[in-house]
């Protein structure tokens, strides 16, 4: 029951902080929460090159998550008592794989879009019927 209380308090803090940041976007909290994460397009850079940089960026996050997962596996083999820690198990078995798989998905999507642009030369544009 105590963990449920911690979860509720955590989400209340998250929601209140997010609402405050949306009400005051020019505050330090708003600028930190809503700043762009990842590579930004460079002047004169083609869309394909930018997407390739995005794919490398997300791929590096995937490799970091993979390294953390392997380190957690090694730590679990060396110290079996870590299996009793709920915090370690949630971080190692849930959070790290979710972040890693999301980074892999983003990397593969950016890479496939980059290859599409380089092979076909243009992005898909919807047809306007009128």
pLDDT in tens, 31-61: 888 888 889 899 998 888 999 999 999 999 9
User: Is 94's pLDDT higher than 70?
Assistant: yes
Rounded distance, CA 13 to CA 108, Å?
Answer: 34
What is the average per-residue pLDDT within 86-106? Answer: 95
Would you call 77 exposed, middle or buried from its count of C-beta atoms within 10 A (0-12, 13-18, 19+)?
A: exposed
What token pair was written down for 128? 């306007």
What is the average per-residue pLDDT within 65-69? Answer: 97
What pLDDT score does 130 carry? 53
What token pair was written down for 15? 């929601």
User: Is 124's pLDDT higher than 70?
Assistant: no
Angle at 34 between CA 53 and CA 17, to 5 degrees: 145
What pLDDT score does 66 carry? 97
What token pair was written down for 28? 């330090």
Per the listing, tokens 């243009």 go with 122
What distances in angstroms separate CA 84 from CA 6, 76, 90, 91, 94, one per listed residue? 19, 10, 11, 13, 15
In this structure, the dihedral spanned by the alpha carbons of residues 12, 61, 49 and 41, taken in order and rounded to 10 degrees, is: 30
């Amino acid at each position: 029951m105590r963990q449920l209380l911690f979860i509720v308090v955590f989400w209340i803090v998250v929601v209140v902080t997010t609402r405050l940041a949306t009400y005051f976007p020019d505050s330090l909290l708003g600028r930190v929460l809503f700043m762009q994460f990842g590579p930004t397009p460079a002047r004169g850079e083609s869309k394909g090159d930018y997407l390739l940089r995005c794919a490398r960026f997300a791929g590096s996050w995937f490799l970091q998550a993979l390294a953390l997962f392997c380190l957690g596996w090694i730590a679990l083999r060396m110290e079996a008592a870590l299996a009793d820690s709920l915090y370690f198990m949630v971080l190692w078995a849930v959070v790290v794989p979710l972040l890693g798989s999301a980074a892999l998905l983003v990397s593969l999507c950016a890479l496939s879009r980059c290859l599409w642009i380089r092979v076909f030369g243009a992005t898909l544009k919807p047809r306007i019927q009128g």
